[in-house]
Amino acid sequence: MTELLHLPLGPDGDLVRVCTTVRQAAELLGLSGQDQTRLATAAAEAARATCRPGGGTLRLSVKPDTGTSGSVHVEFTPAAGPRAPRGGKTIDVLGRLLDRFEPAEDRWLLVKHLPGDQPVPAARLTIARQTLAQDADVDPVAALSEQNGELATALAQLRSREGELLRLNEELAETNRGVLALYAELERSAETIRVAQRQVFTELENALRPPPPAIPGMELGIRYLPAQSNSPTGGDLYDWLVLADGWLHITVVDVVGHGVKSTRTALDVTHAIRTLCREGHPLGDVTALADSLLAGTGALATVLLARVHPKTGTAEIAGAGHPPALLIRARGGVEYVEAKGRPIGFPGAGSYGVTHVELDPGDMLVLYTDGVIEAGPDIDEGLELLREAGLRLRDQALDDVLEGMLEAVQAGNALRDDALLLGARRIE
């Protein structure tokens, strides 16, 4: 414990001197302005409570604590000897102002922690002790008088600047009006840009997503929702074309990621598959061949392929790591059609085989991306919701079926991934 000052106090507690001395000590030891005020206020109240009627002493010390800068101790000892602490309300107030407060019969101890995690240097303690000793005998009345003179001078200066402040306020108000007008103009410009951006996105989306071909005996539909409204292209893409032998070929691609980069990769995959299909390769070989063509590009994508003969209703399905197609029978049940394989960009990419089904008039084949079944909290629940929606809506128009299925699995949840639904229904 290092003592900085030992000061006798009169019967009135020398409140002004105590307040001035303790504030000065707190400032010399590095306490913040707020903590200086709290400690000085608490010290004045403690002096009032302990020094009547016989006076007392004030002892200022610094106690080192391991791992911290320590704490400043302000101790008041009454000259009249031990007596019970007084002023219950005062004690409560002081307890809230201090880090530690110990009112006892023979002394009151006020403690405030010093900032930092290093002990106060010895040189700083020496300066504080010398400064407090030098100023201990200063007449508090004279000090207050000097402070009052300084305050009066400051007040006069403030009043002299009142006109300047009023003028500055008027200029600021005018500037604010100009800023508000600028904000309004910027908002109008931003809305113009947003409208143009939406138009560009719409045109880009229409260019990337081909309309369904007109095929006698088939009804085709598409429903797409991006996870990011500011990037509606995404990594979910589809393609359909009529092959030379009359079969309808459908491709659904889901690339890892979002945004324009994923769209570029999805286009590479769909273009590779389209080229291979036009070359006449069997459906079961297409994804493995596409993986070979795209080797080194970094493409990672799941794929689901379907071919339907409009006249006979014969359908073939091949997959590469993609969720199964949903077969909705017009006069029967609803079932998932598995088509297993490994995604493009992974070792051993390709389809493990081709699944064959027959579509009767009214039957629907629905292909989708995993964003559809992941809209809810659980994939299995998403699959079941999609199946139930297909069963419930199968008698409606194809576009209404796809819209209703998407609403059923989404059920108010925000999309975590792009969502694509593509339907092919055989009609009479």
Please enumerate in sequence order all residues whose Cβ is within 8 A of that of 157, keeping only pairs 6 or more positions apart, or say none: none
Q: Are residues 319 and 183 in the same domain?
A: no
Q: Is 156 contained in some domain?
A: no
User: For the segment 201-258, what is each residue's pLDDT rounded down to a tens digit?
Assistant: 556 666 667 889 999 999 999 998 876 655 556 788 999 999 999 999 999 999 987 7
Q: Is 155 contained in some domain?
A: no
Please enumerate in sequence order all residues whose Cβ is within 8 A of that of 115, keeping only pairs 6 or more positions apart, or say none: 30, 31, 32, 69
Number of domains in the chain: 3
Rg of the chain taking only CA atoms, in angstroms = 42
Q: Is 16 contained in some domain?
A: yes
| φ/ψ (deg, to 5) at 341 | 170, 180
CATH code for the domain of 302: 3.60.40.10
Number of helices (H), then strands (E), in the chain? 11, 17
Q: Are residues 347 and 279 in the same domain?
A: yes
Stretch 401-428: mean pLDDT: 85
Q: Are residues 338 and 316 in the same domain?
A: yes
Q: Are residues 227 and 328 in the same domain?
A: yes
Last residue of a domain, one of 208, 241, 275: 208
Please tell me the distance from the alpha carbon of residue 327 to that of residue 355, in angstroms, as a whole number.
12
Last residue of a domain, one of 188, 208, 228: 208
CA dihedral sign of residues 282, 286, 288, 289: positive
Please tell me the distance from the alpha carbon of residue 95 to that of residue 48, in angstroms, as a whole number.
16
Q: Are residues 21 and 123 in the same domain?
A: yes
User: For the segment 172-181, what is each residue's pLDDT rounded down to a tens digit?
Assistant: 888 888 888 8
CATH code for the domain of 75: 3.30.565
Q: Is 135 contained in some domain?
A: yes
User: For the segment 329-347, what is each residue's pLDDT rounded down to a tens digit?
Assistant: 998 899 999 999 999 999 9
Q: Are residues 334 and 219 in the same domain?
A: yes
Stretch 271-295: mean pLDDT: 96
Confidence check: pLDDT of 142 > 70: no
Q: Are residues 233 and 336 in the same domain?
A: yes
* Residues 15, 139 contacting (CB under 8 angstroms): no
Q: Is 421 contained in some domain?
A: yes
Q: Are residues 329 and 390 in the same domain?
A: yes
Q: Is 310 contained in some domain?
A: yes
Confidence check: pLDDT of 327 > 90: yes
Residue 96: band (very low, low, confident or very high) from pLDDT cuts 50, 70, 90: confident
Residue 283: band (very low, low, confident or very high) from pLDDT cuts 50, 70, 90: very high
pTM score, two decimals?
0.55
Lowest mean pLDDT among 92-106, 183-197, 348-362: 183-197
Q: Are residues 388 and 405 in the same domain?
A: yes
Q: Is 193 contained in some domain?
A: yes
Residue span of the structural domain in which 195 resides: 161-208
Q: Are residues 81 and 41 in the same domain?
A: yes
Stretch 409-424: mean pLDDT: 80
Please tell me the distance from the alpha carbon of residue 328 to that of residue 149, in angstroms, as a whole number.
94
Please tell me the distance from the alpha carbon of residue 352 to that of residue 339, in angstroms, as a whole number.
8
User: CA 392 → CA 355, 404, 408, distances in Å?
Assistant: 25, 9, 11
Q: Are residues 330 and 181 in the same domain?
A: no
Rounded to 10 deg, the angle between the 283-293 and 259-278 helix axes is: 130
User: For the segment 17-62, what is each residue's pLDDT rounded down to a tens digit?
Assistant: 888 889 999 999 999 988 998 898 888 888 888 887 778 899 999 9
Confidence check: pLDDT of 271 > 60: yes
* Residues 351, 319 contacting (CB under 8 angstroms): yes
Closest C-alpha to 351, from 326, 327, 317? 317
Predicted confidence at residue 154, as pLDDT, reads 60
Q: Which long-range contacts does 7-11 make (Cβ < 8 Å, 24+ apart)?
A: 7/57, 7/58, 7/59, 7/60, 7/136, 8/55, 8/56, 8/57, 8/58, 9/47, 9/51, 9/55, 9/56, 9/57, 9/58, 9/76, 10/51, 10/55, 11/51, 11/52, 11/53, 11/54, 11/55
Please tell me the distance from the alpha carbon of residue 33 to that of residue 29, in angstroms, as a whole number.
11
Q: Are residues 106 and 184 in the same domain?
A: no
